[in-house]
Structure formats: C-alpha cells, structure tokens
Amino acid sequence: MNQNAPEDAQSLSVKRAQVEFHNFASLGQPERNLRIYAEENRRRLGVIRAHHAFIGEMTPFLEIGANAGHTSYMLANEFGASGFALDISADSLRHGRALMDAWNLKREPVRLAGDAVNLPFADGSLRFVCAFQVLSQFMDMDSVFREVNRVLQPGGVFLFGEEPLRRKLSLKLYRCPYRESMTPWERRLFDWGLLGFVVRDVIGADQEESFGIRQNHGSYLEDWHALAKRHFAEHEFDVFVPGRGWAERAVKRAAVFVDPHRSEWHAAHWLGGTLAAVCRTAGAQPVARPFDPFEEFLRCPDCHGTMTREPDATLACTSCAYRAPFEEQVYNLLPSAERQELYPGRREDIVDFSLPGHERQLLEGWYEVEGVFGNKYRWMGASASAKLRRMKSGPQKLRIRGFAVPQGLPGEVTVTVNGSHAGHWKLHRQGLFILEADVPEACDYQVRMDAAPQWRVPEDDRVFTVNISMIRLVDSGA
C-alpha cells in the first residue's frame, strides 16, 4: 500500500470542502441534528441486528466518516464494543460531547481525525469496520476497500450502508437540494413521488456539490455487487427502495409484482434507493485482543511506524517526529502535509471565525461571534469587511463560507476586493453557501461584502443579512 492516497480517490480541494462543511454543519441546528442522528442510529441498529450473527464480535471497531460519532457511540453503548470513530473533520467529532450529554451515554469511542484512504491503523488490527454514507464521497471507491481490507483481521467484517443506488427511471435533468431547501414546486413533486423521476442523482446532492464536495452516484446495484465480490470472500446485501408519494409507490408495487421472487431487486434497479452490505474477509475467526492500550492498533500516518502514548496523552511515532496531541478529546492523525493544509491554524490568508485571534483581521460591519467548535460565525448587516494577506505564491482565489436564512431570501451578495468588483451572487435557497472568485496579484487584500435584503428580529435594533464563518485565500484551481 502506498503511503500517499491515490490522487483520483479524493482531491485535496474536496477534502478541504468536507472539513469546512462538516466543521460548520455537524451541529449547526442542535435539536434538528440530534433528531436526525437518533433516526440514523435506529436504522443502522436495525441493519446490525439483522446481520449480527454474520458480524459477530465487534471489538475493536472502526467507523469511517463518523461525523459527530453518533453511530460509534451506539456501538459502544448498545453492544458494549470498544473502538474508534474516524472522520476528516475534527470539529464534527468534538460534538460527541453534546451527544453524551443529550443521550446520557456512559461509554465513548476514541475519536480520530483521519483519511479513509490512508487509515492510521496497523495491518490486520481490527475486527469490524463500518461506514455509512461514505463510499460515494470517493471517485475511486476501490481505494477505500483496499484500505479496509488492509486493516481488517482475517475473517474481519466490513459493513457499509446508506449508499446510493443509481436509478434507471429518471430524466437526470439537474441536481436537487434537500427538502427544506426545495422550492415550492420541487416540494410538491417530492410529496407526489415524482421528483426522483426528474433529478440527476440523489435528492440532496446539490447542497454538497455546490459546497465543493464531489460525489460518486454512478453505481447501479450490479456495480456494488461486483465491488464487494472483488474485495471480500463473502457478503450479504439489503436494499431499501423509496416509496415517496403515489408515483413511486405505484412503480415499486409493479416492480415487486414482476419480480419472480417478489423481492425488491427489480424495484431497486428502477427506482434506486440505498444499499447496505456486510462483507467478510477470507480467513479464520478474528483473534480477541484487549482494547487497551488502544495505541497498539494504530500506526503513524507518515512513516507507518508504531505509536506510543505519552503521559500527557499525546500520540507519538516511535520512528519519526510525528506527534498528535489530544486536543479537546480528539487526535488528529492525518498525514503531516494534509494536516497542515486542512488544519492550518490562524494564518493571515484565512479568517476562520472558530479560531481565537481572528478578530484582528476584521474591519467593520460584524456582530459578536456565536456558535461552538467549528460552527462559529458572525452575522453581518448591510455590509462588512475584512483583510487578508497572501501567504503563498501563484494565482489565488477568494473563498467565502456563509449561511442564508429564510428571512433573507431571495437574497444577494456582492463582493469587492481592493476596491474592484469580484462577483455578484443570488441566494435562492436557505443553508450553507460558498462564494468563490479569482483575485488579482497583490500582497494584501481588503474584502468587502454587501448583502441584501436586510431584516430584523423582534426586540432587537440590529439589521441582519447573512452570517459568515470563513473568508480565505486558496490556490486558484484547487
């Protein structure tokens, strides 16, 4: 296995977008997201229980793309398993504190920021790996399967679920957002079960795509079957076919009727849906090992040496200078070059509202900082400005991350850089947005944003438009 992940599996710009998106969005609406996490855990618990005899013992487990870690907490508390929750977003994982408090949980996983195509685990170290809504984030899914195979013991199990099945019955005209961001006519088609016959791929893909997260939604049921067969000795599949509205229910009934086994496999081909699979590597039953010390399961993401835990809980490589402090209960085990780019800390070419000291780069028009962890932001009024300084050579572009609320829609944002017009954007949907524009060669940049419409809330004399969580320079084309 190469030390570096294949470039075509997931580009650095996509990884950056994932870190920014999940840092900001993982618990941006706490009550709503806790409800969603609980619903996801109920679905996933049902899949695990249905295949529990196939899965067997889960310790030590690894969840890839864990987000806030909610499913890892479920494995630890429902099944008494010990293991790791891994996500590329360290701040998403830090929201596990809120989960423990809200759900009164006693056990927790070890939380690691890491890369699915360069897993910081020793060969043959794990008994169970799971991933939900993760594989379709990679252009080269084989690279993830190879890494999972590498870290699993002989006879170990990989469960992946909630992966999209491409549907044959669709005009594939455009990408659509999630329901809460749909236009009235989209919502009506959705409720009737007709929207899926129009959109290009998974409903909701528009939000991630517009943020810079590229997704691989091109796999039909037979493609997933071939992928599992290529990498694993045994597998079991479940398909979950939507039945939204009268239209999809009618087609689903017809597909089940013509299937010789009265199964939903024909329906999955016609309507798509999601897939869950439980796969086992060749070999005897995995060998039981105590979970502590947990660092014995890890390896250095730079040189692949063994890791040790120092008295202050820092993880350190025994062969090179790699170190990972225990920062707010999360270890960052990304390769050094990737970690430096995705977690640069406070720099003059970035205004990250989640980092202390960012206010030194703000000029005028900002209200006080709000939010927690990576979900920190400031509201702005009709206009606001900030300053950046170039830290890299070569062409640069400006990247602004913000959030629009229903009171400000339809809205618009105009950006000027050093007094020159950089771009004008229309905002038609609520939620996270990204604005990107090329900037001229300069050492210093003054960025001004003008937004409309303005709105107020009762008993507050302030004027609001949108809120902003990050302003930064990135390499042009990255």
CATH number of 369's domain: 2.60.120.200
| Same domain (yes/no): 101, 233 | yes
Question: Residues 144, 172: contact at Cβ < 8 Å?
Answer: no
Tell me whether residue 189 is in a domain: no
Q: What average pLDDT does the segment 141-165 reach?
A: 95
Residue 224: burial class (beta carbons within 10 Å; 0-12, 13-18, 19+): buried
Tell me whether residue 75 is in a domain: yes
Residues, the chain: 478
| Same domain (yes/no): 357, 262 | no
Tell me whether residue 164 is in a domain: yes
Q: Is the pLDDT assigned to residue 6 strictly greater than 60? A: no
Running DSSP on this structure, what letter comes out for residue 464?
B
For residue 124, what is the domain's CATH number? 3.40.50.150
Q: Is the pLDDT assigned to residue 7 strictly greater than 50? A: no
Residues in Cβ contact with 343 at an 8 Å cutoff, skipping those fewer than 6 apart: 19, 90, 113, 332, 334
| DSSP, residue by residue, 90-130 | HHHHHTHHHHHHHHT-----EEEE-BTTB-SB-TT-EEEEE
Handedness of CA 137, 2, 16, 369 (dihedral sign): positive
| Same domain (yes/no): 276, 143 | yes
Tell me whether residue 263 is in a domain: yes
| pLDDT bracket for residue 27 (50, 70, 90) | low
Q: So what's the pLDDT on residue 374?
A: 65
Mark which of 226, 250, 280 sits at the end of a domain: 280
First to last CA, the chain: 26
Backbone φ and ψ of 212, nearest 5°:
105, 5
**Structure-token pair, residue 314:** 């820092």
Q: What residues are paired with 384 via a beta bridge? A: 449
Give the whole-angstrom CA distance, residue 342 versus residue 329. 19
Mark which of 280, 310, 326 sits at the end of a domain: 280
Tell me whether residue 323 is in a domain: no
Q: So what's the pLDDT on residue 8?
A: 61
Q: Is the pLDDT assigned to residue 308 strictly greater than 90? A: yes
The tens digit of pLDDT for each residue in 209-229 reads: 766 777 888 899 999 999 999
Handedness of CA 84, 67, 27, 133 (dihedral sign): negative
Tell me whether residue 203 is in a domain: no
* Domain, as residue range, for 424: 350-475
Residue 286: burial class (beta carbons within 10 Å; 0-12, 13-18, 19+): buried
Q: So what's the pLDDT on residue 472?
A: 93
The tens digit of pLDDT for each residue in 115-151 reads: 999 999 999 999 999 999 999 989 899 999 999 999 9
Mark which of 280, 313, 336 sits at the end of a domain: 280
pLDDT over 90 percentage in the chain: 71
Q: Is the pLDDT assigned to residue 1 strictly greater than 60? A: no
| pLDDT bracket for residue 293 (50, 70, 90) | very high
- Average pLDDT of the chain, as a whole number: 90
Q: Is the pLDDT assigned to residue 477 strictly greater than 80? A: no
Handedness of CA 195, 201, 203, 205 (dihedral sign): negative
Q: What angle do CA 328, 329, 333 make, to 5 degrees?
A: 100
| Same domain (yes/no): 263, 392 | no
Alpha helix segments (H runs only) across 241-393: 245-258, 265-271, 336-342
The tens digit of pLDDT for each residue in 31-83 reads: 778 888 999 999 999 999 999 999 999 999 999 999 989 999 999 999 999 99
The total of structural domains in the chain comes to 2
